[in-house]
Amino acid sequence: MSEQINSSRGFRILISAAALVIVIAGVSLAQSVVVLFLVSFFLALLGTPPVLWLKEKHIPSVFAVLIVMAGMIVILLLIGVQIGTSFSSFSDDLPLLQSRIREQVSGLIVMLQGKGIVVQESFFLDYVNPETIMKLTADLLTGLSSVLSDLVLILLTVAFILLEVSSFPLKLRAVLGDPKQKFPQFTKFANDMKRYMVIKTLISLATGILIAFWLYILGVDYPILWGFLAFLLNYIPNIGSIVAAIPAVILAVIQLGIGSALLVAAGYMAVNFVIGNIVEPRLMGRKLKLSTLVVFLSLIFWGGLLGLVGAILSIPLTMTLKFAFESNESTKWIAVLLGSEKMDEVSAPIRWKKKVK
């Protein structure tokens, strides 16, 4: 009998694994649609607090959503014009920047050879090639602009989501047949997710503004572009702020020299240290309750599956999965593995159900 139970359990695990592979393949094939929905949902989370605040002021839902959407459109247009102008100039100057990088690499090789250090030029071209980094930066921003090319469809989706925000609990209660049904766990999760996204956006915005201002003071070209990149990549845990600093530091080396590049790097380190270690923990309050390893692996997984948008939203997506696993007794053990809690800190014990015939 125990062999039959083990065989049945193994078969269920095999079926679940196969279903997971099919779902991942489907998401990968429908990447453009999934990314569009995720960006819309992200913007809707940011727009929900002002919509609910306006409704508390006795403004009808339709007008509240229209006011918030008008504000979003104005902000996106202002940012888009500034970023688009900077990115266009950067793309036009990229061939010139690449040629100057080659000249500096050749000068560095000559200097090292004069000091008796023999370095092959292929080493810099193949392994330590700043030219490639600048090209990758341009490709990254181009990929983002392709996502925003569907801006009208994204904004329409956001508007419809915001219109459904207040009525969704009522519809869910109607489906369950209990008009007084409450959803404390789901409400807590939704509030935590909304709080995380709003605070993370404000923190990332502050990071981008400070970086842009610092680069403007130092005289680095395209400060708005690098500030926007710092804002965007600040959503990516662990490595986002480091990646955002690399192209600006390389440009400072080319344009202003080693001394100014060190000042640029110091500015990035200071801003990210203060905001990441002092400001953000105080505003966030509660921890994400995700293991450090899970945060890193989720960045790789979602980034590989959905590209830049997946990397930016890797934490909210993983938090959503953790909540889904916590809601089911049979999958609660997966939520424990994803979480940062120790086994003796888990509030509810995991009960493994055995079928006995």
pLDDT at 181 over 90: no
Residue type, 269: M
> Letter for the amino acid at 40?
S
Average pLDDT over residues 73-96: 78
* Confidence category of residue 267, pLDDT binned at 50, 70, 90: very high
- Percentage of the chain beyond pLDDT 90 is 6
Q: What is the mean pLDDT of residues 17-36?
A: 78
Each residue of 209-232: pLDDT tens digit?
Answer: 999 999 999 988 888 888 988 998
Place of tokens 């030029």: 121
- Residue 117 phi/psi, 5-degree rounding, is -100, 115
Identify how many contiguous H helices and E strands the chain contains and give both numbers. 15, 0
Residue spans per domain, the chain: 31-140+148-181, 193-286, 288-343
As a whole number, mean pLDDT of residues 271-277 equals 86
The confidence score (pLDDT) of residue 126 equals 57
Closest to 101 in 3D by CA, of 315, 251, 305: 251
Q: What average pLDDT is seen over the chain?
A: 76
Convert the pLDDT of each residue in 275-323 to its tens digit.
887 887 777 655 566 777 888 888 888 888 888 788 888 888 888 888 7
- Residue-wise pLDDT for 48-72, tens only, equals 888 888 888 888 888 888 898 898 8
Give the C-alpha separation, 11 to 5, whole Å: 10
